[in-house]
Structure 1
Amino acid sequence: MRYFKLFTLLIITFVSFSCTPNYLVVTSPDEKLAVEVSTNDDGKAWYSVTWAGEPIIKKSYLGFEFKDQPSLDSNFKIVGELRNTMNETWKQPWGENKKVKDHHNQLRIQLQEKDGLQRRLDVVFRVFDNGVGFRYEFPEQENLKEFVIMNEKTQFQLSDNHEAWWIWADYDTYEKLYNHTDVDSATWVATPVTFKTKENYYVSLHEAALTDYAGMTLKLDDQQRYTYESVLVPWANGDKVRTSAPSVTPWRTIQVGRAASDLVNSNMIINLNEPNKIEDTSWIKPMQYLGIWWEFHIGTKEWKEGPRQGATTESAKKYIDFAANHNIGGVVVEGWNSGWDKWGEKDAFDHITPAKGYDLDEVAKYANDKNVALIMHNETGGDIPSYEKYMDQAFNLYEELGINALKTGYAGGIFPRGEHHHGQYMVNHYRRVVEKAAKHKIMLDAHEPIKPTGIRRTWPNMMTREGVRGMEWNGWSDGNPPNHTLILPFTRMLGGPIDYTPGIFDVQYENSPNRVAWNTTAEIMDEARVHTTLVKQMALSIILYSPLQMASDLVENYEKHLDAFKFLESSTADWDESIMVSGEIGEYAITARRAGEEWFIGAATDETGRAVSINLDFLESNKLYKATIYTDAPGATYLMKPKKYEIIEKNVTSEEAMLIQMNSGGGQAIHLQLLQ
């Protein structure tokens, strides 16, 4: 990422050890958010957060338990403080917003044990107008060198029994439907987790810059109401984090907003990550893509070689031709390689040898000649030693073939057995893949990943990831209810881009009658469908942000609705500016994104039909725009006539409001083009 500073202010103040007070406060630049930090009579360090005087996080304690040495959670005194203020705007090579403002006040608290080992621990707070991030830093010191964290005792004491949107904590998957309950029922959660207070504030807890550390879950304290304490994902032997001083933890984050959309429009998570480490980013290019993928999930094709094989040279060329003719940047081909018949076995894949009937060299050349990116697929089956053994050879091959995008998969349990997808072992593996891919100029889309925490700033080739109950679940289960994709922007997507893979037009699989159950019963397979209208699928391509954005249906289904596909053909995955205009968690979302002088709006609702009026003041003033509106036909809902739609054109300006009508389980997709 190149930096351009519109305005930078850096003020550093150091207070000597001898005069440091025991109670410190740092506020946001607008002075509405305040963080208080102190120690109690036992020397336990605590913090609290208020917003315009209202408690957001009440007194919450900090510290660690170690393996084979005393805990570092009490007997502290504050021995120093360091403050600074940052105000700058930086530019990223891709993102929801190309320009990102970073304005925060920072306070570093320096703690030291009063006696005994006299170990030191710093806690760094960064306070933005829309949230707080804090992390621990272990300075280099004589009495703390190599150590193992057994328990991070970070607390988040909420002020009341808020509404909560959450999924159960799990050490291996985030592919779950969200619960909407009160805090008392949300006993052990994954992050991001989002709350709404009785005062109609919104709060979300997560983490940023997860590096060489275990993923964090949050568990309610049995003794203290509304208080979450961090629970780290363990190694196979029970260790949580193996590290040494000097080192830092990820940032623990608290986002706040007056409206639910404020959480979505925040850049705090990415701002808490380190600057870009890739000097030349010219090869990193967002794109929409198609793929040989959906046919596997709805049971019309198979990944493995044989008569129902999906990945063939002929089928790949068909997708490439459609992409080239309709302004779609790439094509992913799953099942291209041999080994799928050995699924679940050790060393099943080498990620190099093509399947019979698939000529990798021919397909790669064909895609290159058509100016379409061929996206490789590496399913590891969770076999980490095997994947790392073949990774160099595979990446060399892809680079030689001119392939610079890769989708990885980690379905199933992890080898070595006992390790978890979200533990330090896998966090470090995922990072090795990112760094090695960068050396070969390969962009990544990770499935079954560690959650996003803003690492895309530091490694912008880490484009997108799954980590969600995505579209595939609609192919072979009871599916995702209409509100699911309207919870995601306010929860999972707060961490970063989401490869949900929207874009299904044949939502009831009417064009795919010969489906075979492959991981469920025939009865469930027969009932499976996508619980939206066709138009909502188009809208989700705007609402659910991904710089590698899939149009996931079969090309023959798009060919039946080319007038509707025109929206996706005209769209992009490379945005200059993005705004969630309006939304409520699990109810509806309306998002506008700009590419150059064109705007695209995605609007979607749950099972409740609704009309929402939005201001168009994000458009350029004194200009006329043509709005092409793709909308559900009258009477079309996700249950009745879900593929019926209308296309309406009218002219609009920034001075007017637009009434967006969304039928049950449906929405609108709008393309705004400048006329003058």
Structure 2
Amino acid sequence: MKNVHKIVSWGTASLWLLVGLVLGCGGALHATAKESLILASPNGQLVAEVSIDKHISYTLTQGDKLLLLPSRLSLEVAEVKKLLDKPQLAKVSRRSVDEVIAPTLPTKSKEIRDHFNEMTIELAQPVSIVFRAYNNGIAYRFVTRIPGQVQVDDELVEYNFSQGDSAWLPVEEGFYSHNERSYIQKPLVQFKRDTLSSLPALVATANAKILITESDLQDYPGLWLKGTGKNALAGTFARFPTKVEMEPNSDRNEPVKARAKYLAITKGERAFPWRILAVAKNDAELLTNQLVYQLAEPSRIADTSWIKPGKVAWDWYNTNNLFGVDFKAGVNTQTYKHYIDFAAEYGLEYVILDEGWYNLGDLLSTAPNMNIEELVAYGKQKNVKIVLWVIWKTLDLQFEAAFDRFEKLGVAGIKVDFMQRDDQGMVNYYWKVTEEAAKRKLLVNLHGAYKPAGLQRTFPNAITREGVKGLEWNKWSYESTPEHNVTLPFIRMVAGAMDYTPGAMSNGIGPAAFKNVKFDGKAPDHQDFSIRFTRPMSQTTRVHQMAMFSVFESPMQMMADTPSNYRKEAESAGFIAKVPAVWDETRVLHAAVGDYLVVARRSGSNWFIGAMGDEFAHELTVDLSFLPAGSFAMESFADGINADFWAEDYQRSERQVSRSDRFTIKLAPAGGWTARLTPLK
């Protein structure tokens, strides 16, 4: 990470309003009555008011609209009883920062303007609370000043909203989870007290959308939410595991059998994770919000030149199904050489060897018919790198020896799977693995994982992450629906890169879309989609899948289908292969959570546009006024005239366009549209 420019100003009184008491940056005051401190965003539109009385609470307003009602915050530490009971204000300091961050892996933009106002509330107790106000959200964190180790017994997190506010929650059955959930939308008051939700979550108020998540999660459990049966959500955490037990005959599933009463044992002098409220006046603003990245600790890797984004030929989704080849396809060296040949032919940077390359339970072994050294060497000849899938528990048990082997083999990275927890111990495991991988110049793709929460900035070799209900769910369920696909970018993707694994070439219209399709005034009595584990298909049109590569963000982006299917559908595959995995600029042209979106992204001088819709048909206008001057050659793919019944039907077009062009695109139910725009000399 480098800062292109940086401007920091202190004590800019014109930006701040203080109600009830005026405090200098260096002054010290002890509270004897209720104090109210106000922090405004740089543009003055978002205002957080912090109240210090018997407890500490805060509100959030946008203009003259109250978004968040008084919501308490607190931290309980065993070593300092009643740490935040009857808090006493000691000092308030403020600063303004305006700098530009250049991400190692730019998922949304080459540069991020990091512009905020900050207020640090130092209490007489050994704790401070830091608030930051950005133009697109606020965040707070605790900073403690307690010598030695401490036991954090609890943390109070409240989000109190107004009557009528609703939410999209990824509802969970328990803390032991892959965090691959559908989003349930309904009024907040209808989420009962026993409702458990992972993050991110999205709240719709009368005047804004508010995304709840966290950043800089280190040595601490992840934040979850509970319903309250009221217009509110309450924070909750997985407590420290005291007993874990591997399931019988399993190398991967290790549920927690007992937990302590506390959350974490950690350093007493530290900063805790940021609690984020990302605020969007309209749905489009959610897609460009990067507060999770901005609030994370900067990169600890000095030389990041070896961290390369790219596309991946993936084997597991399609179960190595090859046809038209002269060898028996499966988990064997010949099959993966074929994958490498395919990757080289289409310009893909990586091939992943998923489950099966080693004898489960022993990362120092190699499965029969597999020669990893030969594959790595073959890949180098073709300029294709190898990524190895591993079970987290086996890696933990063989940590040093396994990493020694990965480094000796010369692979590019590892895909670590099946963690399914985010208590303090597992959060620390993520950091341990990623740091060790960085020492050996290995990329890390985390699966069976909790949501991104800052690690991707601190260790940019943590190149992507699952924690999303992705394409593979079509192998066994109806749950990866078009509506789900156009909900993800507004919620899960705001937290960071997501390994959804797009790119199905076998496509069918599923039951959710068919009920919205009319033929001669009647809905069809059958569906085109079917659940097939070994020959899976998507519940979308072909072009919906193609558009995902411009819409979904992942610096290590999978092409999930089999090389044989991609060669059969060479026109679609050739277009997909040319879509970059990182971006210099993002423009949102249309956006409605769960309904549709149209996103334009720039890589160098080329632009790519992706449009995706839910189960209904949509007509949307594409305005190219964002383009620079000059003419562009546009290659586009649209749903075919019969795509509402035959999902693989598409139409390819070429035309010359400029910034003065406006045109209408038609999305079939579960449909899409996508284009590449190349400047003409």
TM-score (normalised: structure 1): 0.88
Tell me the equivalent position of 1:11: 10
Once residues 175 and 227 of structure 1 are traced to their aligned partners in structure 2, the CA distance between those partners, rounded to angstroms, is: 24
1:624 paired with 2:628, answer no
Cα distance, 1:388 vs structure 2: 2.4
Once residues 91 and 595 of structure 1 are traced to their aligned partners in structure 2, the CA distance between those partners, rounded to angstroms, is: 15
Letter in 2 for 1:612: L
Q: Do the aligned partners of residues 55 and 234 (structure 1) sit closer, same or farther apart at CA in structure 2, a change above 3 Å counting?
A: same
Once residues 576 and 267 of structure 2 are traced to their aligned partners in structure 1, the CA distance between those partners, rounded to angstroms, is: 49
Q: Do the aligned partners of residues 523 and 104 (structure 1) sit closer, same or farther apart at CA in structure 2, a change above 3 Å counting?
A: closer
Letter in 1 for 2:560: S
What SS class does the counterpart of residue 234 from structure 2 fall into?
A: strand
Tell me the equivalent position of 1:365: 377
Cα distance, 1:455 vs structure 2: 2.0
Once residues 553 and 528 of structure 1 are traced to their aligned partners in structure 2, the CA distance between those partners, rounded to angstroms, is: 9
Once residues 388 and 610 of structure 1 are traced to their aligned partners in structure 2, the CA distance between those partners, rounded to angstroms, is: 49
- Contact persistence 2:321–2:562 (CA under 8 A): no
Letter in 1 for 2:120: R
Residue by residue over 1:69-124, the C-alpha shift from the partner in whole angstroms, topping out at 9 and shown as x without a partner, is 63434211211111000001121222121111100000001123xxxxxx322110
- Contact persistence 2:317–2:536 (CA under 8 A): no
Q: Which moved more, 1:67-76 or 1:546-555?
A: 67-76
1:184 paired with 2:186, answer no
Coordinate RMSD, CA, aligned: 2.2
Tell me the equivalent position of 2:14: none
Once residues 87 and 479 of structure 2 are traced to their aligned partners in structure 1, the CA distance between those partners, rounded to angstroms, is: 51
1:97 paired with 2:102, answer no
Letter in 2 for 1:99: E
What SS class does the counterpart of residue 633 from structure 2 fall into?
A: strand
Once residues 528 and 231 of structure 1 are traced to their aligned partners in structure 2, the CA distance between those partners, rounded to angstroms, is: 37
1:317 paired with 2:317, answer no
Cα distance, 1:131 vs structure 2: 0.2
Residue by residue over 1:609-666, the C-alpha shift from the partner in whole angstroms, topping out at 9 and shown as x without a partner, is 101113222211x2101111111111212xx211111101111112232322211101
2:175 is matched with which residue: 166, 171, 176? 171
Cα distance, 1:601 vs structure 2: 0.9
- Contact persistence 1:477–1:525 (CA under 8 A): no
Once residues 652 and 87 of structure 2 are traced to their aligned partners in structure 1, the CA distance between those partners, rounded to angstroms, is: 66
1:31 paired with 2:59, answer no
Cα distance, 1:176 vs structure 2: 1.5
Cα distance, 1:64 vs structure 2: 2.5
Letter in 2 for 1:485: N
Tell me the equivalent position of 1:109: 121
1:601 paired with 2:609, answer yes
Q: Do the aligned partners of residues 65 and 487 (structure 1) sit closer, same or farther apart at CA in structure 2, a change above 3 Å counting?
A: same
Once residues 574 and 287 of structure 1 are traced to their aligned partners in structure 2, the CA distance between those partners, rounded to angstroms, is: 8
Q: Which moved more, 1:655-664 or 1:243-252?
A: 655-664
Q: Do the aligned partners of residues 440 and 54 (structure 1) sit closer, same or farther apart at CA in structure 2, a change above 3 Å counting?
A: same
1:634 is matched with which residue: 625, 641, 663? 641
Letter in 2 for 1:196: A
2:146 is matched with which residue: 126, 140, 146? 140
Letter in 2 for 1:674: P
Once residues 560 and 230 of structure 1 are traced to their aligned partners in structure 2, the CA distance between those partners, rounded to angstroms, is: 50
Q: Do the aligned partners of residues 524 and 227 (structure 1) sit closer, same or farther apart at CA in structure 2, a change above 3 Å counting?
A: same
Tell me the equivalent position of 1:414: none
Letter in 1 for 2:185: H
Letter in 2 for 1:22: E
Tell me the equivalent position of 1:666: 671
- Contact persistence 1:464–1:498 (CA under 8 A): yes
Residues 211-290 of structure 1 aligned to structure 2 (within 5 Å)? 211-221=218-228, 225-236=230-241, 237-238=259-260, 239-290=262-313
How many residue pairs are counted as aligned between the two chains? Answer: 619
1:493 paired with 2:499, answer no
Tell me the equivalent position of 2:514: none
Residues 519-530 of structure 1 aligned to structure 2 (within 5 Å)? 529-530=537-538
Tell me the equivalent position of 1:356: 368
2:549 is matched with which residue: 541, 553, 567? 541
Once residues 587 and 312 of structure 2 are traced to their aligned partners in structure 1, the CA distance between those partners, rounded to angstroms, is: 23
Cα distance, 1:260 vs structure 2: 0.8
2:598 is matched with which residue: 566, 590, 594? 590
Once residues 625 and 409 of structure 2 are traced to their aligned partners in structure 1, the CA distance between those partners, rounded to angstroms, is: 46
1:578 paired with 2:581, answer no
What SS class does the counterpart of residue 543 from structure 2 fall into?
A: helix
Once residues 631 and 50 of structure 2 are traced to their aligned partners in structure 1, the CA distance between those partners, rounded to angstroms, is: 52
Unaligned runs of 5+ in 1: 113-118, 302-306, 341-347, 412-419, 510-521
Cα distance, 1:451 vs structure 2: 1.4
Once residues 406 and 381 of structure 2 are traced to their aligned partners in structure 1, the CA distance between those partners, rounded to angstroms, is: 16
Letter in 2 for 1:34: V
Once residues 49 and 72 of structure 2 are traced to their aligned partners in structure 1, the CA distance between those partners, rounded to angstroms, is: 12
- Contact persistence 2:508–2:541 (CA under 8 A): no
Tell me the equivalent position of 1:45: 56
Once residues 624 and 176 of structure 2 are traced to their aligned partners in structure 1, the CA distance between those partners, rounded to angstroms, is: 42
Once residues 68 and 280 of structure 1 are traced to their aligned partners in structure 2, the CA distance between those partners, rounded to angstroms, is: 40
Tell me the equivalent position of 1:82: 93
Once residues 77 and 156 of structure 1 are traced to their aligned partners in structure 2, the CA distance between those partners, rounded to angstroms, is: 23
Q: Do the aligned partners of residues 150 and 524 (structure 1) sit closer, same or farther apart at CA in structure 2, a change above 3 Å counting?
A: farther
Q: Do the aligned partners of residues 19 and 409 (structure 1) sit closer, same or farther apart at CA in structure 2, a change above 3 Å counting?
A: closer
Residues 188-207 of structure 1 aligned to structure 2 (within 5 Å)? 188-199=196-207, 201-207=208-214
Cα distance, 1:339 vs structure 2: 2.6
1:131 is matched with which residue: 137, 150, 167? 137
Letter in 1 for 2:382: K
Once residues 302 and 272 of structure 2 are traced to their aligned partners in structure 1, the CA distance between those partners, rounded to angstroms, is: 26
Once residues 29 and 655 of structure 1 are traced to their aligned partners in structure 2, the CA distance between those partners, rounded to angstroms, is: 34
Letter in 2 for 1:232: F
Letter in 1 for 2:352: V
Letter in 2 for 1:265: T
What SS class does the counterpart of residue 76 from structure 1 fall into?
A: coil
